[in-house]
Structure 1
Amino acid sequence: MCGITGVFDTRGQSLIDEVSLQRMNDSQWHRGPDEGEIYMEPGLGLGHRRLSIIDVATGQQPLFNEDRSVVIVFNGEIYNYQSLMTELQTLGHVFRTKSDTEVIVHAWESWGEDCVLRLRGMFAFALWDRNRQTFFMARDRLGVKPMHYALLGDGQLLFGSELKSLLAHGGMDRSLDPLAVEEYFALGYVPEPRCIFSQARKLSPGHRLSIRRGQPIPEPEEYWDLRFTLDRKIGLDEACAELRERLDESVRLRMIAEVPLGAFLSGGVDSSAVVATMAGLSDEPVNTCSIAFDDPAFNESAFAQMVADRYKTNHRVETVRSDDFDLIDLLARLYDEPYADSSALPTYRVCQLARKHVTVALSGDGGDEGFGGYRRYRTHLAEDRRRAALPASVREPLFGLLGRLYPKADWAPRVLRAKSTFEGLARNSVEAYFHEVSILRGGMRQRLFSPALKAQLGGYDALNVFQGHAAKADTEDPLALIQYLDVKTYLVGDINTKVDRASMAHSLEVREPLMDHSLLEWLATLPSDLKIRGQEGKYLFKKAMEPRLPDDVLYRPKMGFAVPLARWFRGPLRQRVRDAVLGPRLAATGWFNHDYLRHLVDAHQSGAQDYSASLWSLMMFESFLRQVVDGESTGLPVSAVEEAASLS
């Protein structure tokens, strides 16, 4: 696990500035504190920060082939590297290391751009082939590992694991993309391939980019997509048995390491299943860690302890106080873009705890998307059945009117909170799901944004992101469609972003066995009623895990990994939220309606409405403007900032 960065001259062989390249590499020190090297040749500069996991002795990067005509920097893990190494040796390749990085180099020599089709794992890499005069970048299928890039006016291409490495170069424009602002306030993150900065882009999951020096730069090419065929005829017992086998294989592959290894254990189904599987594959007790909250409404530690006791794990627990909000500005620097998932706070803390004991941790991320676990899935399917009962010509005007007239009633019993239901019934399935997951819904964003920002948007709506993916989903099944949308948006832009930045801030590698692409491909062949049956989400997964986990873990209500924002903003953060949302930095953008900002703050703090998610997104945007755009941050690596602030 590492941080990679570099500069490539797409037009010729201009000299790369070594000072800038070194600064780019140093900005990602936290991603790889063990070693750091740069390599330069005319028209190319590569940087690498290493967190040693596999082939600790000889796996240094940048890494070359035998005649040094191909050089690579790589971030991630290739879990099938040993079998690929054997295959490549039979093709005549000679290995000087035992690393998965060298496997990619020789795979490129044998299979070219299609080498990515042979890789099973999480990865982002960039390589230069001098003989072919080709620069090649690729990102793993599920976007577990990040890749950012920017093309400068002089033809230099900057790339890096984190946006901070591009910013450290000094040549990238820091102008913000108004379309990214619209997407952020809708979703709480900036979805691929857009970045908050106009000049930068993210390489989308399952995409590759091949550039021949001196030729026009093509658009990235998709090499993988998830297809929901739902055509596998299989009984429940057979499906359970096969799922256990596939999970065993996925976990086993991710337990290969030359450093201490463990797992997160939240007490939910996903992490508990991973820990149970690890215990069955290991002769030694599994190292597990959990975060407990002093607020019972958010505390799952008793269920984590139940699993830890059953499998006799080496379990560590730390309690996070319910007012643990000291990290707000650090998070803004950590994520480089505005990022509004408040569970980043406890995620940061659990990574901090894990790194005290292990270097690699397995997680349960991806289980909800793959197995159908989110409550919103069941809500959406129920609404879809209601939508199907009325023709659109009747449904849309009727429920559209009711949605506009019915008051927002967060204070009322759930049965009386009909506004969102009416609004959802007035839309088609894709529009309704986008509406459901939006932080500030369409009408709220219209009230939030100033005429100046609306003019820059030119009518653009973040709904376009979902519509674009839906057009490629190739399924009419309502559950499969929203699973596909989540795999393309929420899983990548929110979940994977959160875990990557939080873990790498502590030089911790996190591996996600439930995001194994072959496992997801298999799940996509199964009928949807194996994933949600009645009101039971993750039906197949829970049935398959019954021999391994207690019912109290499998069938209890889902809690999530949340923090008490609503209470914070009416109590200990009352003044801070007012200062941020109504203060000079947001006003200076000219993008926001001050009267509506005041309404959000006043209505929330009076208890009339719950606008906590909207206020958090505004607070994080304001902190991003100060920390990243204005450069209030120290310029030190994240870990150095943390140490200086005495947060560890």
Structure 2
Amino acid sequence: MCGISAIINTNNNKVPRDEIKAMNDIVFHRGPDQEGFYEGLNFALGHRRLSIIDLTISGAQPMIYHDKYVLVYNGEIFNYLEIKEELKQFGYSFSSSSDTEVILAAYDKWGDDCVLKFNGMWAFILFDIKKNSLFCSRDRFGIKPFNYIALPSKFLIASEIKQFTAIKEFEPNLNYKEAYNYLVNSHLNTNEDTLFEGVRVLLPGYNLNYNLNNHNCYVKQYYNIEKIKKNRSITFSQASKQFSEIFKNAVKIRLRSDVEVGACLSGGLDSSSIVCEVKQMNGNELKTFSVCFSEKQINEEKFIDVVAKKSGFESVKIYPEMSELIDQKIFNKLVYHQDQPILSGSHFAEFALFSKANEHKIKVMLDGQGADEFMAGYMSFFYKFFLSLIRKGKFLFAIKEIYQFSKNQKRSFLFISAKAFLYSITNQRNKDKHKLYFSDLFKDRNYKAQKNTKSVYHESLLQINETSIPYQLHSEDRNSMMSSIESRLPFLDFNLTEFIFSLPDSYKLKNGITKAVLRSGLKDILPEEILNRHNKIGFATPDEIFIRKNHSSVRNNLVEAIKDTKGIFNNSILEYFDEFVQEKKPYNSVIFRIYSFNIWLKIFKVKLN
């Protein structure tokens, strides 16, 4: 896990060392162990290293391979040992034990198609000396970041957008359409555009090729989860067994490390599955880290204790106080490291957890991101499931599933039925209510409609590609790297995701429970309390309590936002806020978003045109 930088001068002038070093220094936190540079005729590469595999100088970057290629790379190729053995059969030899050298040898053998061999997370820039070109790639699901921008005389690449601020030619201008998407629709990271006008991300599953002779650049997709075909012949029993086997390997290869590995443990099904799977692997020890809250409705400590007792692993708990967000100016720090405003205080919980892991000298953490989106883990999936069954005329099946679901949720059949119906018609209405707090000009020029899906399959695709996973991965990368920690995600092993994606919806949602195939496949290793748990909390935080306790500071921020943003907001948000403080109106998350947005504008000195 590292930080990468690149500057290409399109006027073909040599890049001054102080420019690439300035970009590199900004992400010292991503790689505090070493730094390195490579300078070409009209470009320069920079690298900050967090040593995980092969801690010696042999694994340092930029890595030069037989005077043919140069690589700067952020991430891990977890199946690098298997690829190395395959390459040895073709006569390749290796001088280091790092996965970096394996990437270079794989490119030498298979060219751009080398990425199809990789099981891992990556964002890299590979200079092909003979072709005088850069081959860049980002992993299948975008676990590792890759940002770029074309300026009048430069083309820049960076792990984090803030690195661009080291270049004088870069101007931080607001992308109004993405601002609308965040403020009104509650979405970030849904496409290649960012809140900074002109700054783009290389989308997950894409390569970028840059010709250093003529400065032509193009991107090409190499992976698309939608091409995975449904497996309609597999039985549920077979699927459960196969899930168990693939998941075990996904966890096993993510334990490959020359430094200590820890794990996030929320007490939920996903993180508990990872911890319990590690326990099954003889000889492995694991320190777990958990966030607990004094608010009973969001505290999962009893489930954390169950898993800790079952595994026998050391359990480290933290009890973060939301007041620290303002008192210790952590909010500003979070927004700075995220390169964008945040959606909720859940970032603080995640930040606090990784900070504690860093105190314990942990450099690698396992986490459960990705399971919900692929295995229909959110409650919203059930509502889509019910309605799709009804549309298909499967009324008895729908009634049975609603009955089981309502029983598991300890709700009445009528309540769940009504909620499913209301969910299908009120989602956009709730977004429309948010528009009341914004100027007509801002709304009219930047309106972006919400996508509404009608099936579990399409809802899963939407969350994987746009509305959930991209934002979750962006958040986790920045929060972990703030503490110089590499976060590894077994549920996003592409062998596992492709298998899950191929299964029928009824293998994910079955008898009123979510993630049915996981529960069945791991029933022998999970505690009963976790296996039969049906409520979901995740990285929840008491945002409403935070806003109320700091209402004076928040209100001042809202007043400032209305004044300084040149007509994005109107005064109605202040009226609503005052009534909320007086407990006349319910909490509205748009308050948090406006508060965060205004802080982001100030930190990055974003210009409003």
Question: What's the TM-score once normalised by structure 2's chain length?
Answer: 0.90
1:610-636: CA deviations, max 9, x gaps? 3342111111101101112259xxxxx
Q: How far, CA to CA, are the matches of 1:50 and 1:274 in structure 2? A: 27
Letter in 2 for 1:366: G
Give 1:28's aligned residue: 27
When structure 1 is superposed on structure 2, of 70-79 and 536-545 the one drifting more is 536-545
Q: Which residue of 2 aligns with 1:364?
A: 368
Which residue pairs with 2:309 in the alignment? 309
Q: Distance in 2 between matches of 1:609 and 1:419?
A: 22
Partner residue in 2 for 1:199: 198
Instruction: Check whether the contact 1:233–1:526 (CA below 8 A) recurs between aligned residues.
Output: no
1:564-597 superposed Cα distances (whole Å, 9 cap, x missing partner) = 1122222x111122111222x4422224232222
* CA distance in 2 between partners of 1:320 and 1:282 (Å): 34
Does residue 346 of the first structure (1) align with residue 349 of the second (2)?
Answer: yes
Superposition deviation, residue 122 in structure 1: 0.4
Aligned 1:133-532 pairs, distance under 5 A = 133-154=132-153, 156-185=154-183, 186-215=185-214, 217-227=216-226, 229-321=229-321, 323-326=323-326, 327-357=330-360, 358-384=362-388, 422=422, 424-425=424-425, 435=428, 441-445=431-435, 447-454=436-443, 456-457=445-446, 460-463=447-450, 466=451, 478-532=455-509
The 3-state SS of whatever aligns with 1:210 is strand
Tell me, yes or no, if the aligned pair for 1:184 and 1:190 is still in contact at 8 Å: no
1:371-393 CA-to-partner distances (Å, cap 9, x unmatched) read 1110111123334556778xxxx
The corresponding residue for 2:552 is 575
Question: Is contact 2:464–2:470 with CA below 8 Å preserved after alignment?
Answer: no
Does the aligned pair in 2 maintain the 1:74–1:123 contact within 8 Å? yes
Q: Which residue of 1 aligns with 2:585?
A: 609
Amino acid at match of 2:462: L
Q: Which of 580, 589, 593 is the equivalent residue of 2:569? A: 593
Q: Contact (CA 8 Å) 1:259, 1:360: kept in 2 or not?
A: yes
Q: CA offsets per residue over residues 451-503 of structure 1, 9 Å max, x none?
A: 3324542xx4153xx48xx8xxxxxx811111111110234332101110000
Shift of 1:16: 0.7
> Using the alignment, how far apart are the partners of 2:449 and 2:342 within structure 1?
16
Query: Once the two structures are superposed, what CA deviation does each residue of 1:287-317 show, in whole Å capped at 9, x if it has no partner?
Result: 1111211222221122111111111102211
In 1, Cα distance between equivalents of 2:335 and 2:418: 35
% of aligned pairs identical? 28
Contact 2:344 2:543 in 1 (8 A): no
Check conservation: 1:240, 1:541, Cα contact below 8 A. yes
Q: Which residue in 2 is equivalent to 1:114?
A: 113
- Do the aligned partners of 1:569 and 1:612 also contact (CA within 8 Å) in 2? no
Question: 1:582–1:594: 8 Å Cα contact kept in structure 2?
Answer: no
Tell me the distance in 2 between the aligned counterparts of 1:39 and 1:20. 13
The structure-2 alpha-carbon separation of the partners of 1:619 and 1:387, relative to structure 1 and needing over 3 Å to count, comes to farther
Mark the CA change 1:257 to 1:210 in structure 2 (over 3 Å): closer, same or farther.
same
Secondary structure at the counterpart of residue 441 of structure 1: helix
How far apart in 2 are the matches of 1:47 and 1:78? 20
Aligned length: 579
CA distance in 1, matches of 2:299, 2:168: 44
Deviations 1:42-74 (Å, cap 9, x if unpaired)?
11111111110001112000111112x311110
For structure 1, which segment, 533-542 or 599-608, has the greater mean C-alpha deviation from structure 2 after superposition? 599-608
Q: How far apart are 1:415 and its partner, in Å?
A: 5.5
1:646 is matched with which residue?
A: none
* 1:216, distance to aligned residue in structure 2 (A): 6.1
CA distance in 2, matches of 1:223, 1:525: 19
Which moved further from structure 2: 227-236 or 17-26? 227-236
Q: Is 1:581–1:619's contact at 8 Å kept on the other side of the alignment? A: yes
Q: Provide the secondary structure at the position in 2 that maps to 1:229.
A: coil
Query: Is 2:232–2:503's contact at 8 Å kept on the other side of the alignment?
Result: yes
Q: 1:36 to 1:95 in 2, by over 3 A?
A: same
Q: For the structure 1 residues 499 and 347, does the alpha-carbon distance in structure 2 shift closer, same or farther, using more than 3 Å as the test?
A: same
What's the CA shift for 1:8?
2.0
Instruction: Tell me the SS of whatever aligns to 2:319.
Output: strand
SS at match of 1:629: coil
The alpha-carbon deviation at position 147 of structure 1 amounts to 0.5
Q: Is the 8 A contact 2:247 2:490 kept in 1?
A: yes
Q: Pick from 542, 550, 553: which aligns with 1:564?
A: 542
- 1:4-35 deviations in whole A, cap 9, x for unaligned? 111123x4631112212111000000001111
Whether the 8 Å contact between 1:586 and 1:622 is mirrored in structure 2 is: no
Residue 602 (structure 2) aligned to one of 616, 626, 644: 626
Deviation at 1:192, TM superposition (A): 2.7
Deviation at residue 423 of structure 1 after TM alignment: 7.5
Aligned amino acid, residue 219 of structure 2: P
1:80 CA displacement? 1.0
Q: Structure 1 CA distance, aligned partners of 2:117 and 2:107? A: 10
Is the 2:52–2:257 contact (alpha carbons within 8 Å) kept by the matching residues of 1? yes
| Long gaps (5+) in structure 2 | 394-413
Q: 1:569 to 1:365 in 2, by over 3 A?
A: same
Letter of the aligned partner of 1:141 in structure 2?
R
Asked if structure 2 preserves the Cα contact closer than 8 Å seen for 1:77 and 1:100, the reply is yes
Query: What letter is aligned with 1:252?
Result: K
Letter matched to residue 304 of structure 1: I
SS in 2 for 1:293: coil
Task: Measure the CA separation in 1 of the matches of 2:133 and 2:562.
Answer: 43
Does the 8 Å contact 1:276/1:548 carry over to 2?
yes
SS, match of residue 519 in structure 2: helix
Partner secondary structure for residue 274 of structure 1 = helix
| C-alpha distance in structure 2 between counterparts of 1:35 and 1:544, whole Å | 42
Change in CA separation of 1:287 and 1:593 when aligned onto 2, cut-off 3 Å: closer
Please report how far the alpha carbon of residue 416 of structure 1 lies from its aligned counterpart in structure 2 after TM superposition.
12
Do the aligned partners of 1:8 and 1:158 also contact (CA within 8 Å) in 2? yes
Distance in 2 (CA, whole Å) between partners of 1:83 and 1:388 is: 45
SS of 1:183's equivalent in the other structure is helix
8 Å Cα contact 2:365/2:487 also seen in 1 = yes
User: What is the deviation of 1:139?
Assistant: 0.4
1:180 deviates by 1.0
Q: What is the aligned partner in structure 1 of residue 398 from structure 2? A: none
**What letter is aligned with 2:448?**
D
Match of residue 405 from structure 2: none
Instruction: Name the amino acid aligned to 2:306.
Output: M
- CA pair 137-565 structure 1, distance change in 2 beyond 3 A: same
Q: CA deviation at 1:243?
A: 0.9
Moved more, 599-608 or 559-568: 599-608
Contact (CA 8 Å) 1:264, 1:361: kept in 2 or not? yes
Q: Where does residue 66 of structure 2 map in the other structure? A: 66
Q: Distance in 1 between matches of 2:381 and 2:230?
A: 17
The answer as to whether partners of 2:310 and 2:527 remain within 8 angstroms in 1 is no
Alpha-carbon distance in 2 for matches of 1:554, 1:591:
51
The separation in 1 between residues aligned to 2:517 and 2:590, in whole angstroms, is 35
Contact 2:562 2:571 in 1 (8 A): no
